[in-house]
Amino acid sequence: MSSGKGAGDENFPVGSLLISRRLRPHVHAYYDFARVIDDIVDTDRLSAEAKIARLDAMEDVVLGRRQAPLRRDAQTAVRVGRTLAATGVPVTTATDLIVAFRRDAVKSRYESWEELVAYCRYSANPVGRFLLLLHGEDAASLPLSDALCTSLQVLNHLQDCASDLRVLDRCYLPLPWLAREGAVLEDLGACRASPGLRRVFDALLDRVDELNAEAARLPSLVRDRRMRLESAVIVGLARRLAARLRREDPLAGRVKLTRGDVAGAVLGALRVLP
C-alpha cells in the first residue's frame, strides 16, 4: 500500500519481507511498472503530448493491444500484464495508475480537497487494491485500503511540496486553501513555512487523520496473516508520519520516518494482532 513513487521516495516500500515469497515476484513486477510510468511523467525531456503517447503505449502493452519494444522500461508493461493474467487481479489496478499519470502530464494545480482525493483514487488507491486482491482478500476491505492509500499519497505530497513545485512546477495543495490563509505558491520556495502555509499543512493533516482513523479498521478485515500484519504496520507508520509533519517543517528539510518509528509501528502491530 503505497503511492507510485520511485524507490528512493517511498516511506512504505511495496513488497516487504512480510509478503510471502510466492507472491513477491508479482508485487515487484507491479512496482517496477508503477515506477517506470511515474518516471515517464516526471521527466523534463518529454513534452506533455509525448508523455501521454508513451503512457498510452504502455497501456496498450498491458492490455495486449500491441507488442512491446525491447526497451527495458517497456518490458515492465509486459511483466505486469502477465502478472495480472496469472493472478486474476483486475487490470484496472495497473491502468488506473496510467490515468493518474496522464493527469500529471497536463495538470499542475488543484482547486479542492475533492479534486485531490479524485487524483489519489487513480494515483495511489490501485496499489492497495492490487496487494489485497493478490492475497485473495474480500472486497469489503477495499474502501478502507483506499482511505489508507489516499492518506499515504497526501502525506507524500506534503513531504515533497517544495520540490514538487521547484522541479516539476506541480502543486497538490488546494489553491483556495492557500488563498484563505493568506499564503501564495511562492511561499513554498522559502526555507521555512509561513504561518499561513503552516495552517494549510495542518488542515490537510486534519483530513489525513480522518483517513487514518478509517484505515485503522483495515487489519481486522484482512484474512491473510502476513498481509494483516503488513497493513497494520503501514497504518501505524502513516499515523507516525502525520504526527511528524505536525511537529516538523517540510520546507526546512524532508520530514521522514526514523528507525524508531518503524520499530514502534511493528511493535504496535504485533500487540493488536491476534
Per residue in 170-202, pLDDT (tens digit) is 999 999 999 999 999 999 999 999 999 999 999
89 domain-assigned: yes
- CA-to-CA separations, 219 to 81, 164, 197, 231, 262, in angstroms, rounded: 28, 32, 34, 6, 17
- Cell numbers of 85, please? 493474467
Question: Which amino acid would we find at residue 271?
Answer: R
100 domain-assigned: yes
Q: What is the pLDDT of residues 8-62, one digit of tens each?
A: 345 555 446 788 899 999 999 999 999 999 999 999 999 999 999 999 999 999 9
Contacts of 259 (CB under 8 A, 6+ apart): none
The answer to whether the predicted template modeling score (pTM) of the entire model surpasses 0.85 is yes
Distance (Å, rounded) from C-alpha 161 to C-alpha 175?
13
Distance (Å, rounded) from C-alpha 130 to C-alpha 135?
9
94 domain-assigned: yes
Give the pLDDT confidence score for residue 213 in this predicted structure. Answer: 98
250 domain-assigned: yes
Distance (Å, rounded) from C-alpha 81 to C-alpha 95?
10
Name the residue range of residue 215's domain.
7-272
Residue 70 pLDDT exceeds 90: no
**Contact predicate 217/144, CB 8 Å:** yes
CATH code where residue 258 lies: 1.10.600.10
The number of C-alpha atoms within 13 Å of 72 and in the hemisphere containing its C-beta is 3
**Contact predicate 159/254, CB 8 Å:** yes
What percentage of the chain reaches a pLDDT higher than 90? 86
1 domain-assigned: no
Q: How many domains does the chain have?
A: 1
E strands in 218-272: none
Give the pLDDT confidence score for residue 239 in this predicted structure. Answer: 97
Give the pLDDT confidence score for residue 77 in this predicted structure. Answer: 95
115 domain-assigned: yes
2 domain-assigned: no
First to last CA, the chain: 21
Give the pLDDT confidence score for residue 19 in this predicted structure. Answer: 87
Q: Assign 72 a pLDDT band (cuts: 50, 70, 90).
A: confident
Give the pLDDT confidence score for residue 168 in this predicted structure. Answer: 96
Distance (Å, rounded) from C-alpha 204 to C-alpha 28?
31
49 domain-assigned: yes
Residue for cell digits 475533492? Answer: 114
